[in-house]
């Protein structure tokens, strides 16, 4: 049974989920999500910008798993920010997924009419279309700009996080409102410098686990929700098999020492907003 983490709105969210970023909607997403559900995942993460919501929804429906045992996340894209556009976008995602409600809905990129989008998401939550609402890719600077003005605080902030980039400043900001950090790229997007690090390798040998399992266990022991992604059956299963051992305090400190304070994506960098705003998620609708 996958452990859960209680969110600040009272909902219980599985501590590990299956990520679908960059899995094509050519049957590959359906296959991967089906494999993940068979392996025991009960938390699936998608987004309108991944163009695979329909295949995620089909796999969920075909699994036969009761809806109340699943946690399904999707995300709002930039071109749909604002009160009315966000309302339409939520309904469209629900239609593509074939679901009555979403368990979590996130502001995917924190630029533009974020307040209008958030207001619409709060309304959708009150209407029962979404159970929990949150944000993504918010740095400390962006967090201070927007979230301090929100009447309803996010349940999660989904950001880049792994042993090389541990988001210390951001985590300090989030703790007062009990906002949980959810990690994309929890394995550093296959970063070999991380996966072959001597500390990680030594712990993998000690616990008879692979490097990815050591890293994911470190993160979950910190209280971080993780979203590993794979299209390989063995890896899908192994990434979930991390709750039968516990890293001790010294081992956690060794892994914490790997932090460089830098990630691969900087949402504060000049030009990022403009680059992302040019990405059309409704070209084929």
Active centre residues (catalytic): 50
How far apart, in whole angstroms, are the C-alpha atoms of residue 188 and residue 142?
A: 23
DSSP run (H or E) holding 184: strand 180-184
Longest Cα–Cα distance in the chain:
54
3-state secondary structure 30-72: HHHHHHHHHHCCCEEECCHHHCCHHHHHHHHHHHCCCHHHCEE
d(CA 46, CA 144): 26
CB atoms within 10 A of CB 274: 9
146: left (phi over 0), alpha (psi -120 to 50) or beta: alpha
């Amino acid at each position: 049974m996958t452990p859960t983490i209680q969110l600040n709105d009272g909902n219980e969210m599985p501590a590990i989920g299956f990520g679908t970023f960059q899995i094509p909607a050519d049957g590959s997403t359906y296959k991967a999500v089906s494999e993940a559900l068979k392996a025991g995942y009960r938390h699936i993460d998608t987004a309108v910008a991944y163009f695979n919501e329909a295949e995620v929804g089909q796999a969920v429906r075909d699994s036969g798993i009761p809806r109340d045992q699943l946690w399904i996340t999707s995300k709002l894209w930039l071109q749909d920010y604002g009160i009315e556009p966000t309302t339409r976008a939520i309904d469209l995602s629900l239609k593509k997924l074939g679901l009555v409600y979403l368990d979590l809905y996130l502001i995917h990129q924190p630029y533009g009419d974020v307040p209008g989008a958030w207001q619409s998401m709060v309304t959708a939550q009150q209407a029962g279309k979404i159970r929990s609402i949150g944000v993504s890719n918010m740095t400390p600077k962006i967090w201070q700009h927007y979230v301090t003005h929100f009447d309803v605080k996010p349940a999660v902030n989904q950001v880049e996080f792994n042993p090389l980039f541990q988001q210390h400043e951001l985590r300090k900001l989030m703790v007062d409102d009990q906002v949980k950090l959810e990690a994309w790229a929890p394995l550093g997007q296959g970063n070999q410098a991380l996966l072959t690090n001597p500390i990680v390798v030594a712990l993998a040998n000690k616990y008879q686990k692979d490097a990815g399992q050591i890293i994911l266990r470190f993160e979950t022991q910190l209280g971080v929700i993780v979203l590993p992604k794979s299209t390989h059956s063995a890896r899908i299963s192994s990434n979930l098999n991390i709750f039968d051992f516990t890293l001790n305090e010294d081992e956690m400190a060794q892994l914490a020492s790997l932090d460089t304070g830098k990630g691969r994506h900087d949402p504060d960098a000049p030009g990022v907003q403009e680059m992302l705003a040019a990405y059309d998620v409704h070209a084929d609708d």
